[in-house]
Structure formats: C-alpha cells, structure tokens
Homo-oligomer: A and B are copies of this chain.
Amino acid sequence: MQDRVDGEGAAPLYLRVRDQLAARIEKGLLTPNTRLPSERILAEEHNTTRVTARLALAQLEAEGRIYRSNRRGWFVSPPRLIYKPTHDYSFSENVTAQGRVPATETLDVTPTQAGTWLAARTGLTVGDPIVWLRRRRQIDDRPVLVENIYLNPKRLPGIETYNFDRSLWKLLREQYGVELRGKQIEMYPTALVDPQASAIGVTAGTAGLYVTRCSRDADGCFVEFDEEFWLHDALSIQVDVS
C-alpha cells in the first residue's frame, strides 16, 4: 500500500522486480556465474514477499538469463554454447573452442536388448543386443546435460570395454573406422523430470531441451542412437543447409 509510484498502466510488481534484475545483468553489474541477492533480500528491497520475488526469478529463469543451484542460490547464466547437431564435432572440442572447460562423467554402462521404442527408431529388431551408456557432461563445472546412448555392438564389437569419459566420436572413428553419414535429429523443448533432473542436479520441472540423434555409417548400418537432455539455457542450436 505504501509505495505505489505507478500510474494506471503499471506492470505487475514481479515484472518490475524482473526488469530491475535484468538491467543489473545487462549493465554488467552482475556477471555470468555470480550469485544474485537471496530471495529474502530481494523481497525486502522491493517491500514485498518471497512469493513475488520468486515469480520474478522464475521469469528470468524461463528466459534463460539466470539459473538456480539447489539450495545455494540463483546465478547469472553464462552465454549459450553454440551446438551444431549435424556436425561430428566432439562435445569436448566444441566447448574448448568456445573458450569453456568441458567435463564428462560416465554414469553407467549396461549391455541390454532393444525394446519396441528403440527398435522403431533405429530399424533394429526387438531383442537385438544394445550397449546402453549414460553420461553427464559439464561446462565450466556446471552440469548441462545427461545423455542415454544406445550403441550397436554388432557394428562396434567390444565397445563396452572402453572408457567413455572422452569423445565417443573419436573412439568410433579411431577404433572402429566409423565415418558417420546419415543422421536423423529430433528435438523439442520440455521440462526435465526425474531421473534426468536428479542426474543433472536440478529440480524436476526445470526447462530443458530434448534432443535425439540416430547415426548410421557410410553403409547405412546403425551405429548409435543418442538421447540428450539439456538445460534449456545452456545451448543455442545452429543448422546450416546448402
């Protein structure tokens, strides 16, 4: 009731809080990966409550300008990684080339069999052997994606014995002479839910981008199916067609 400076066409309070924070970021007062004032402080600064402060923060989060680290605070998002899913660049090389520091962790390697879902997308037959690989990848110590990779052991015998904390693309090329040719890519924005949200260390419901990629070698033989769950603010996709 106290400080209604606004005229008739005033924006909602939470958008004004948003604007004030956005301005601080644009002016460079808040730089990438620095912590924002806590929700309680923000609420106090604007004579409002945490609920409203959180609305403003959620808005900026949806825009990809800030992100949250579980119970540690809100941070300014770094620039998006430019990602060209049609290229064979390795994640590590791509991240490094953009002046960032990549890291990869293998979460799990399991030999299994193709189910109906995978069979329909790869052309395999249900029951065909598959090596299922789960990895988490980071940029500058921030986990930005988890992935499920389904490898074809018929084309890649002994693949499960390798170490996967490096470029898979290099491994395929150097050890198996694979030249990837055909690729079908599909992607859409969606929220990350468990188990992927937990694996990345974010709350279920955090905005993400779901990307799948089916790769074949020069003979059209199925090599790998990749399913990536990205944080929505971590990347910008580029595709060039000629």
Q: CB within 8 Å of B: which residues of A?
A: 15, 51, 58-59, 62-64, 80, 85-86, 181-191, 193, 204-209, 232-233, 235-242
- Residue contact B232 to A183, C-beta cutoff 8 Å: no
- Residue contact B209 to A86, C-beta cutoff 8 Å: no
- Residue contact B185 to A235, C-beta cutoff 8 Å: no
Q: How far is the CA of A224 from the CA of B153 in the complex (A)?
A: 46
Q: How many chain copies does the complex carry?
A: 2
Query: Of the candidates B186, B232, B239, which one forms a contact with A189 in the assembled complex, judged by CB atoms under 8 Å apart?
Result: B232
Expressed in whole angstroms, the minimum distance between the Cβ of A5 and any Cβ of chain B is 20
Expressed in whole angstroms, the minimum distance between the Cβ of A155 and any Cβ of chain B is 18
Chain B residue contacts of A232, Cβ below 8 A: 188-190
- Residue contact A58 to B239, C-beta cutoff 8 Å: no
- Residue contact A186 to B242, C-beta cutoff 8 Å: no
- Residue contact A185 to B239, C-beta cutoff 8 Å: yes
